Amino acid sequence: EAAVTQSPRNKVAVTGGKVTLSCNQTNNHNNMYWYRQDTGHGLRLIHYSYGAGSTEKGDIPDGYKASRPSQENFSLILELATPSQTSVYFCASGTGYNNQAPLFGEGTRLSVL
Amino acid sequence: GQQVQQSPASLVLQEGENAELQCNFSTSLNSMQWFYQRPGGSLVSLFYNPSGTKHSGRLTSTTVIKERRSSLHISSSQTTDSGTYLCALASSNTNKVVFGTGTRLQVLP
């Protein structure tokens, strides 16, 4: 069964700390995406990837890095977490949206204190 | 400016009433999707509808590319329809997907 799994599901971090959010997909999709969702802004694209080894900047990449070491895994890295990065983060995988709906993970709720 | 505008921002219905949710976009379209977000937060894809009309149970999605709009119609609403409905489009020019800010629907018993 196709799936996108995010970990952790909940995270509390301290300001200035490093946070890594992980995403794993078993769909053999080339494209993977990281979004954050905040009240009044909807979902905004942070980083995305076309395949292993590739990362691309989305609309709000500042303060975030991404890593795609394999087809299955796509990580979002906050090197120096700030309270403004408190949000719900969603990972998705897809074939490119031309002929198939993307699949989303369950979300990770991050609080930076 | 915002490429994808959703309206209304929120909607309250009595069970059994119909709802019409709108999504207007300002960029050329490659694909249009509607999602339902449960109160707990997970996203469920409702329709992948780049053009035309699609039906699924009590839901109907219509995308009119020339008019740069897509709608989601919910008939005979139920309390379990409560949640947030999001539209998302992929631009013809990029491989990125842009989301609207959503319509929060509350269906009262």
- pLDDT digit string, tens, across residues B26-73: 877 767 889 999 876 778 889 888 889 999 999 999 999 888 899 999
- Note the pLDDT of residue A94: 84
CA–centroid distance for A82 within its chain: 17
- Residue numbers of A between 68 and 97 with CB closer than 8 Å to B: 88, 90, 96-97
Among chain B residues, CA nearest to A40: B101
CA distance to A7, A25, B75, B80, per residue, from B11 (Å):
33, 35, 14, 14
Residues 6 or more apart from B19 whose CB is under 8 A from it? Answer: B11, B13, B73, B74, B77, B81, B105
CA max distance for chain B? 44
CA distance to A66, B56, B91, per residue, from B69 (Å):
33, 19, 14
- Residue numbers of A between 37 and 66 with CB closer than 8 Å to B: 40-45, 48, 50, 58-59
Going by pLDDT thresholds of 50, 70 and 90, the confidence category of residue B10 is very high
| pLDDT score of B95 more than 90 | no
Average pLDDT over residues A79-87: 97
For A90, the closest of B43, B45, B48 (CB atoms) is B43
Contacts of A39 in chain B (CB under 8 A): none
| pLDDT score of A99 more than 60 | no
Q: Count how many pairs of residues, chain A against chain B, have C-beta atoms within 8 Å.
A: 52
Which residue type does B1 have?
G
Average pLDDT over residues A74-92: 96
Going by pLDDT thresholds of 50, 70 and 90, the confidence category of residue A103 is confident
